[in-house]
Amino acid sequence: MTRKDAWQFRVKFISITALVGIAAMIIFTPTGYFGPISSRVRGLFVKHTKTGNPLVDSVAEHQPAKANSYFQYLQHFCTLAPLGFVMVLFWFGDSPSFVAAYGMIAYFFSHKMVRLILLMAPVASILGGVALGRITAWCVDQVWPGNDAMDTKIATNEAGSTKKNKKGGKAKTPPPPRHDTTVWLKRIFAMVLLIGTYMTMGAFNSYCWSIGKHLSNPSIIMTGQTKDGNKVVVDDYREAYHWIRDKTPQDARIMAWWDYGYQITSIANRTTIADGNTWNHEHIALLARILTGPVDDGYKIARHMADYMLVWAGGGGDDMAKSPHLARIANSVYRNMCSDPVCSQFGYVMDHKTGARAPSKQMERSLIAHLVSSNLRPGIEVDPLQFQEVFRSKYGKVRVYKIIHVDQESKSWAADPKNRKCDVDGGWFCRGQYPPALLKFLQEGKDFAQLEDFNKKGSDQDDEEYQKQYFDGMKKKDERMRAMKKNNQKKKEL
């Protein structure tokens, strides 16, 4: 095929494949063959910087990627990979088309969500390797033009020219002789380019080992420094999980924010109420409601679901710092939790007496504020008839409370295999159900429906109004944060 024929064939093949795919979707979609698209996947296609889903927006890794994020993880391959992509797309024919498709898809999704830069690593390595190989081959060809590869290429061209000439066609005229100056300039440039390229790759190799060492450090064990300057190892989190493993019954259920769910399961070997598998928005919202609602309301629900509660305390991204996100997630399902979708009344405010940040009245009344700050802040103390503190880590980073008067009837009901919904009989994928005692609380909620919900038929006026208020509120919040940073920067400069 000529280059033109090859591109015509590609266009025909892609068009036919797309038509067949669309026809299959039209036929099978009404039958329910395709499952619903999750809110996280929808978040990759919506036009907003914020997805409109407070659960997705609460995770920093879900934000769009910035240019410096690519350089942080890929460094020089940010330059080499696009060059390799162009080579693959236009010079190598159809054989590496998978690499080209992989590169485009990985870049699109990583640009939408920074955590997906991980997808770029393999294809960036492949495309960067292609670029390096071609650059090296060209440089070697300029410095040593008599190599075997060049001899083979010349012989092939001469044979083709002779064959064509015998058939009556025009014979290829030999290339004009090159001036020595031009040849030597190309050789010098090639040598400089080759040396510079491999010196750069040597630096990249060192950078890979450095960042690999940094990223592989344990995330729950860290070093700290005391006020007197002594360095200490902060092992509070692992210490807490080991205490749960050794000091609680094997059937104990641990309630904590979903961030720590996998750690509780893998290190403490106990059942957790939620983990990183946050596809069930309403379930996460119920957990957020327990933590950010009033103490008595949270206790009434928690005693039907768990035996212990674990919170991260002690500052540095603890549960109090995260709680405004939790409040927004809870309010997205239980609309009476806050006065507005962004829960502007739930957070930290400036204490004019001390000049320091202090919890707002709504935050101070929440269960999570009492569990984190009990007996540490004046006037904050949990009711010993509801929660009993059974563990506090060495540096106060983790606190564990035992829930008093756990409802045993609800616990037995949830543990009964008959009350689980499995995808098939005897299958491993089984969805638990809430105990009947929680039905009245669940009825107060409304299933979350994202504005750009591809699975939703029709539109709900209430949902549209709620999400409009959410977007407007988040926009104003971001503007306030930018203004605050700008003012702080001016103060530093002064």
Residue 121 DSSP SS3: helix
pLDDT at 459: 52
Same-domain status, 86 and 156: yes
Task: Give domain status of residue 188, yes or no.
Answer: yes
Number of H helices, E strands in the chain: 19, 11
**What's the Rg (C-alpha) of the chain?**
31
Task: Please state, in angstroms and as integers, the Cα–Cα distance from residue 449 to each residue in 42, 432, 452, following that order.
Answer: 11, 22, 8
Mean pLDDT by groups of 10 residues along the chain of 494 residues: 81 92 87 70 65 78 81 87 87 76 89 85 90 86 65 48 49 55 82 84 85 80 82 92 96 95 95 87 94 95 96 87 93 91 88 77 94 89 95 94 96 88 75 89 85 54 75 80 79 75
51 domain-assigned: no
Domain of 310? Answer: 233-406+445-449+461-486
- On whether both 180 and 94 belong to a single domain, the answer is yes
Q: Is residue 422 in some structural domain?
A: no
For residues 390 and 333, membership in a common domain is answered with: yes
Spatial CB neighbours of 157, under 8 Å, sequence gap ≥ 6 = 172
pTM, 2 dp: 0.74
Contacts of 388 (CB under 8 A, 6+ apart): 401, 402, 404
Q: If 0-12 CB within 10 Å is exposed, 13-18 middle and 19+ buried, where does residue 320 land?
A: buried
Same domain, 193 and 246: no
Q: Is residue 102 part of a domain?
A: yes
Q: Which phi and psi (to 5°) does residue 182 adopt?
A: -60, -45
Q: Compute the distance between CA of residue 351 and CA of residue 9 in angstroms, rounded to an integer.
A: 70
Q: Is there a contact between 239 and 394 (Cβ–Cβ < 8 Å)?
A: yes
In this predicted structure, what is the pLDDT of residue 153?
A: 47
DSSP E strand boundaries for 235-383: 253-255, 271-272, 308-312, 348-350, 357-359
- Angle at the Cα of 105 from the Cα atoms of 102 and 106, rounded to 5 degrees: 80
Is residue 431 one of the residues assigned to a domain? Answer: no
Could you tell me if 16 and 99 lie in one domain? no
Residues 295 and 328 in one domain: yes
Same domain? For 306 and 203 the reply is: no
Residue 8 shares a structural domain with residue 150: no
Are residues 355 and 304 located together in one domain of the fold? yes
Give yes or no: residues 197 and 294 share one domain. Answer: no
Q: For residue 166, is it within any domain?
A: no
Whether residue 108 sits in one domain with residue 17: no
**Residue 456 domain flag:** no
pLDDT in the model for residue 174: 55
Residue 389 bridge partners (DSSP): 401
Q: Please report, for residues 83, 110, 143, 193, 470, the alpha-carbon distance to residue 137 in angstroms, rounded to integers and kept in the order given.
A: 15, 31, 10, 12, 56
Total number of domains in the chain: 3
Distances (CA, A) of 332 to 60, 209, 298, 325, 473: 19, 43, 17, 11, 14
Q: Report the DSSP pairing between strands 421-422 and 398-403.
A: unpaired
265 in the same domain as 197: no
pLDDT of the residue at 261: 93
Task: Decide if 58 is inside a domain.
Answer: no
CATH code: domain of residue 353:
3.40.50.12610
- Phi and psi at 388, nearest 5°, equal -120, 120
pLDDT at 367: 96
pLDDT for position 195: 86
According to the model, what pLDDT value does residue 93 have?
A: 63
Phi and psi at 187, nearest 5°, equal -65, -45
